[in-house]
Chain A
Amino acid sequence: MTRASTVSLRRPSPAAEAAEDERLVAAAAGGDRRAFADLYRRHLDSVYARLTRVIGPGPDRDDLVQQIFLDVYRALRRFRGEARFSTFLHRIVLNVAAEHLDRRRRGMGRNEQVEAGQLEALIAPGASPEQRARQREELRRLFALLEHLSPKRRTAFVLVAVECLPLDEAASLLDANPAAVKQRVLEARRELAVALDRVAEVRST
Chain B
Amino acid sequence: MNARDRDARVEAEIAAPLREASPAVDDLHRARLTSAIEAALDSEDEDRRTRRRGAPYSPRSRRRWQIVAVGAVAAAALWVVLRPHAQRPPAPMSTPGGAVAGAPPVSPPPALLRPYQEPGRGAPAAEALVPSTSLVALRGERARATIGTRVRLTLLGAGRVSVLAAARDGDIELALDGGRLLVDYHSEEGGTLRVRSPGAITTVVGTLFAVEAMGSGSRVAVARGRVRTEDLSGGSAQVSAGRGWTSADGRSAPIPDDLAAALAEHAAGWAHEPTEPDRSAHGSSPIDVAAPREPVRQPAADRASRADLDVLYARAEAAMRERSLGEARRALETIATRDPRGPLGEAALLDLARLALADGDRAEARRVLARLPSPVRDPALAETAAHLRCRARPPGAQGSDDKDCDVSTAR
A residues contacting B by CB (< 8 A) are 33, 36-37, 40-41, 44-45, 48-49, 52-53, 57, 59-60, 62-63, 65-67, 69-71, 73-75, 78, 92, 95-96, 99, 105-111, 121-124, 138-139, 142, 145-146, 150, 157-158, 161-164, 177, 179-180, 183-184, 187, 189-190, 192-193, 196
Give Cα distance in the complex from A48 to B29, angstroms: 11
* Cβ–Cβ contact A53 & B321, under 8 A: no
Contact A183-B410, Cβ < 8 Å, known A63-B240, A70-B44: yes
Q: Which of chain A's residues have a CB closer than 8 A to the CB of B273?
A: none
Instruction: State which of B6, B17, B29, B238 has its C-beta within 8 Å of the C-beta of A190.
Output: B6
Q: Which of chain A's residues have a CB closer than 8 A to the CB of B38?
A: 37
Give Cα distance in the complex from A142 to B237, angstroms: 26
* Cβ–Cβ contact A142 & B17, under 8 A: yes
A-B contact pairs, 7 of them (CB 8 A): A59-B252, A73-B44, A95-B321, A110-B237, A111-B250, A162-B18, A193-B6
Instruction: State which of A49, A62, A179 has its C-beta within 8 Å of the C-beta of B23.
Output: A49
Q: Which of chain B's residues have a CB closer than 8 A to the CB of A179?
A: 403
Give Cα distance in the complex from A183 to B387, angstroms: 14
Give the 6 A-B CB pairs with smallest separation, nearest first.
A52-B23, A122-B21, A161-B15, A49-B23, A193-B6, A75-B322
Chain B: minimal CB distance from A189 (Å): 5
Q: Which of chain A's residues have a CB closer than 8 A to the CB of B21?
A: 52-53, 122-123, 139
Give Cα distance in the complex from A95 to B328, angstroms: 15
Give Cα distance in the complex from A66 to B343, angstroms: 27
Chain B: minimal CB distance from A167 (Å): 13
Q: Which residue of B lies closest to A150 (CB)?
A: B383
Q: Which of chain A's residues have a CB closer than 8 A to the CB of B10?
A: 161, 189, 192-193, 196
Give Cα distance in the complex from A48 to B238, angstroms: 19
| SS class, residues of chain B in contact with chain A | helix
Q: Which of chain B's residues have a CB closer than 8 A to the CB of A62?
A: 32-33, 36, 243
Q: Which of chain A's residues have a CB closer than 8 A to the CB of B322?
A: 71, 74-75, 78
Q: Which of chain A's residues have a CB closer than 8 A to the CB of B6?
A: 189-190, 193
Contact A124-B410, Cβ < 8 Å, known A66-B33, A183-B403, A193-B6: no
* Cβ–Cβ contact A110 & B36, under 8 A: no
Q: Indicate whether B168 reaches chain A with its CB closer than 8 angstroms.
A: no
Give Cα distance in the complex from A35 to B146, angstroms: 39
Q: Indicate whether B30 reaches chain A with its CB closer than 8 angstroms.
A: yes
Q: Which of chain A's residues have a CB closer than 8 A to the CB of B32?
A: 62
Instruction: State which of A65, A66, A142 has its C-beta within 8 Å of the C-beta of B14.
Output: A142
Give Cα distance in the complex from A33 to B48, angstroms: 14
Which residues of chain B from 220 to 278 have a CB within 8 Å of any chain A CB? 235-238, 240, 243, 250-252
Give Cα distance in the complex from A150 to B379, angstroms: 13
Contact A177-B36, Cβ < 8 Å, known A122-B21, A192-B14: no
Q: Which residue of A lies closest to B405 (CB)?
A: A180
Could you mark each residue 302-321 of chain B with 1 if its beta carbon is under 8 Å from any beta carbon of chain A, else 0?
00000000100000011011
Q: Indicate whether B7 reaches chain A with its CB closer than 8 angstroms.
A: yes
Instruction: State which of B13, B19, B402 has its C-beta within 8 Å of the C-beta of A177.
Output: B402
Q: Indicate whether B86 reaches chain A with its CB closer than 8 angstroms.
A: no
Q: Which of chain B's residues have a CB closer than 8 A to the CB of A92?
A: 321
